[in-house]
């Protein structure tokens, strides 16, 4: 038998290893282990890359959810204030408010005591207050600049304004601050 063996291959080899016949099986097992190790390393890299992408996607989703929750809360607060404003105005337009109590509270807040003061109210509210007794130094006047349900008290110490729209705006600001 001729010890030379001729093989025809499609391209030039990059490495050649000559193995004795009794080592062929061991080489094949070694190549299989190497192949399996390479597959495992490739899978590990792929899984690590996929986990990184999943973590990034989860972080993006969490940020989007926070922004969405914030937007929903803001929209809900705005809607609630619009509804509150409409309800308050409807109640005022229907005359379902206690203008006497509102005036007395404004006088109390003014801390005018027995000092002279002028209470500015809407003309309709002035009619509703006819016959109501206040402090002797308190004078009621109709003011075309004052909306129904609102009260402006002028005292020597300053002016107290009880304005429904301003109160609702203050509530809106406080809600906004609470969300921030």
Last residue of a domain, one of 61, 96, 131: 96
Residues 103 and 166 in one domain: yes
6 located within any domain: no
Residues 71 and 81 in one domain: yes
Residue 13's pLDDT is 76
* HEC per residue, 39-97: HHHHHHHHHHHHHHHHHHHHHHHHHHHHHHHHHHHHHHHHHHHHHHHHHHHHHHHCCCC
- Tokens 């969490």: give the residue: 62
100 closest CA partner among 142, 128, 122, 123: 128
Residues 158 and 84 in one domain: no
Last residue of a domain, one of 43, 69, 96: 96
Residues 54 and 81 in one domain: yes
Residue 33 has pLDDT above 60, yes or no: yes
Residues 103 and 148 in one domain: yes
Per-residue model confidence as pLDDT tens digits over 121-159: 999 999 999 999 998 899 999 999 999 999 999 999 899
143 located within any domain: yes
Residues 90 and 105 in one domain: no
Last residue of a domain, one of 67, 96, 125: 96
Three-class DSSP category at 136: coil
Strand-pair partners of 119:
140, 153
Residues 39 and 113 in one domain: no
Share of the chain above pLDDT 70, in %: 97
For residues 115 and 156, is the Cβ–Cβ distance under 8 A? yes
Tokens representing 60 are 């993006």
Residues 55 and 44 in one domain: yes
Q: The dihedral of CA 118, 119, 120, 125: what is its sign?
A: negative
Domain hosting 162: range is 97-179
Question: Left (φ > 0), alpha (ψ -120 to 50) or beta: where does 117 sit?
Answer: beta
Q: CB under 8 Å to 105, separation ≥6 — which residues? A: 162
Residue 23 has pLDDT above 70, yes or no: yes
Residue 2 has pLDDT above 70, yes or no: no
pTM above threshold 0.85: no
Residue 101's pLDDT is 96
Residues 26 and 88 in one domain: yes
CATH code, 146: 3.30.2320.30
Three-class DSSP category at 145: coil
Question: Left (φ > 0), alpha (ψ -120 to 50) or beta: where does 111 sit?
Answer: left
Residues 54 and 120 in one domain: no
11 located within any domain: no
Residues 48 and 70 in one domain: yes
Domain count, the chain: 2
Distance CA 122, CA 126 (A): 6
């Amino acid at each position: 038998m001729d010890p030379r063996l001729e093989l025809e291959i499609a391209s030039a080899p990059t490495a050649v290893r000559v193995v004795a016949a009794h080592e062929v099986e061991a080489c094949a097992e070694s190549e299989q282990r190497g192949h399996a190790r390479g597959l495992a390393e490739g899978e590990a890299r792929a899984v690590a890359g996929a986990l990184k992408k999943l973590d990034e996607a989860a972080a993006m989703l969490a940020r989007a959810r926070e922004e969405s929750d914030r937007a929903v809360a803001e929209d809900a607060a705005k809607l609630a204030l619009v509804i509150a404003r409409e309800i308050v105005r409807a109640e005022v337009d229907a005359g379902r408010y206690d203008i006497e109590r509102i005036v007395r509270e404004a006088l109390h807040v003014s801390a005018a005591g027995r000092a002279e003061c002028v209470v500015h109210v809407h003309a309709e509210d002035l009619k509703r207050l006819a016959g109501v007794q206040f402090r002797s130094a308190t004078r009621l006047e109709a003011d075309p600049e004052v909306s129904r349900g609102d009260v402006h008290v002028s005292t020597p110490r300053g002016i107290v304004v009880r304005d429904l729209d301003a109160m609702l705006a203050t509530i809106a600001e406080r809600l906004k601050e609470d969300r921030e």
